[in-house]
Amino acid sequence: MRPVPVLTYDPQPSAPALRLPAGACDAHVHVFGPADRFPHAPQRNFTPVDAPKEALFALHRTLGIQRCVIVQSFVHGFDNRVIADAIAAGGGRYLGVALAPVDVPDAELERLAAAGFRGVRFNFMKHLPGGADAASVVALTPRLKAVGMHLQVHFASELVHALAEPLARSAVPVVVDHMGRVDAVAGPDHPDFRALFALLANPLFRVKVSGIDRIDAQPASAPLYEKGVALARRLVEAYPDRCLWGTDWPHPNHTHVPSDAALVDALQRIAPEPALRRRLLVDNPADFYRFTA
């Protein structure tokens, strides 16, 4: 029996109330399909409804976003063509982060870098296939450095304690996805968040303050995603130069489909001052990802 495709986004998104600064960047999204052109990976953990580049571009026009970093998903596995296609259509305003095995050839890394990929992502999540051990990932980083790429990691919150030491040996900057997937309801004093906070004292690390809708297990509470926002604000205020933000559109492997307009409007609470918000949305991603437009 064929799996029933899952709709992971709102095909008719609303506009946010917040007007974003010029050059604002959504630093974490995915693109799915179209599947007849970019086949799904056999080992994927779910089958989504197509979320193609055209839907992403339209969303960003609605939200007021001019730049973006597209992250390869296990929906398409190590076949990064779907992202390369979107980058090529983005006019220098869309860049990528690839998935690749730890033994990826140097020639492939060079090809990806030339195509606009700025990093390689590794997952340490039970629900995602193809994970690698930390030592092998860190051993790859000198080769990432040679082509101007960074390392991006996605891990279950409790793994921060075991991963902190090996990742600190990376030869390139390390970006931690979605605030380390900490439990926002547990608050800032939980050991996992404290470990993440301490990790960022090392200038090698960056963090994406995306996922307020994932780490807050009580999304219906008012104000929306209050506990997720609180942790994101703490990180942005403590490490204003090392935080990045993204919507995580089209929201795969989620408990609900959040409003992207609401995620944008939450930035008023995550970074209340316009100068801090500009640093988070414009300056940090421009410097880190090296946009060409």
82-126 residue pLDDT tens: 999 999 999 999 999 999 999 999 999 999 999 999 999 999 976
- Range in 22-36, 116-130, 237-251, 271-285 the model is least confident about: 116-130
- Provide the annotated active-site residues: 248
Looking at residue 5, what is its pLDDT? 83
Looking at residue 126, what is its pLDDT? 64
Crossing angle, helix 53-63 and helix 81-89, to 10 degrees? 50
Percent of the chain with pLDDT over 70: 96
**Is residue 29 predicted with pLDDT exceeding 90?**
yes
Looking at residue 43, what is its pLDDT? 82
- One-letter-per-residue 3-state SS of 70-134: EECCCCCCCCCHHHHHHHHHCCCCEEEEEECCCCCCHHHHHHHHHCCEEEEEEEECCCCCCCCCH
Q: What domains can you pick out in the chain, each with its CATH number? A: 25-289 (3.20.20.140)
**Is residue 46 predicted with pLDDT exceeding 90?**
no
Average pLDDT for the chain = 94
pLDDT tens track for 117-169: 999 999 997 655 556 899 999 999 999 999 999 999 999 999 999 999 999 99
Q: Which of 37, 30, 31, 32 is nearest to 5 (CA)?
A: 32
Looking at residue 4, what is its pLDDT? 76
Q: Which of 108, 51, 122, 57 is nearest to 79 (CA)?
A: 108
Looking at residue 1, what is its pLDDT? 44
Task: Write down the pTM of the prediction.
Answer: 0.95
pLDDT tens track for 167-200: 999 999 999 999 999 999 999 999 999 999 999 9
Query: Which amino acid, 249?
Result: W
